[in-house]
Amino acid sequence: MKKYTYSAKNTDNQNKWSIVDADGAILGRLASVVASRLRGKHNPLFTPHVDMGDSIVVINAGKIRLTGRKLKQKLYYRHSGYIGGLKSITAEKLLEKQPEDLIRFAVKGMLPKNRLGTRLFKKLKVYAGSNHPHEAQQPEALPL
């Protein structure tokens, strides 16, 4: 009897669509569930180098919560490429300005830093309100 470990292929992925309501959810806990789902760790055929995850739609990103004093103290940085071009923004201002980016940054940090991670990140769709254009995919609700 031949014993071997099955290695999944890209064709084994069914790519289901799931929807997550971020209303009142804590940022880090939501991001870890979404990142795990994008990666495909819920799938029994999970293979680390293959995209086995689902597409995720996150709605109500503007109603996400942060614990402690993170709203005032957590900083997000970007650089213009010029000398002295480091810019920062607090989580509170980012939540007012672009609430989708809070979730995107958190999830992206939990994905692999390679070509697979880039491909997985493209399957994440985040919207500030409850409206989204993905009704045709019939996403199923994902409990947190």
Domain ranges of the chain: 14-66+99-141
pLDDT value for 1: 67
Q: What mean pLDDT do residues 80-108 have?
A: 97
With cut-offs at 50, 70 and 90, classify the pLDDT of residue 57: very high
| 116: CB partners within 8 A, 6+ apart | 49, 51
Residue 3 to residue 84: CA distance in whole angstroms: 59
Give per-residue pLDDT as tens, 19-30.
Answer: 999 999 999 999
Give per-residue pLDDT as tens, 109-120.
Answer: 999 999 999 999
Residue range 14-66+99-141 forms a domain whose CATH class is: alpha beta
φ, ψ for residue 131, nearest 5 deg: -90, 140
Say yes or no to pLDDT of 129 above 90: yes
Q: What mean pLDDT do residues 123-144 have?
A: 95
Residue 62 to residue 38: CA distance in whole angstroms: 21
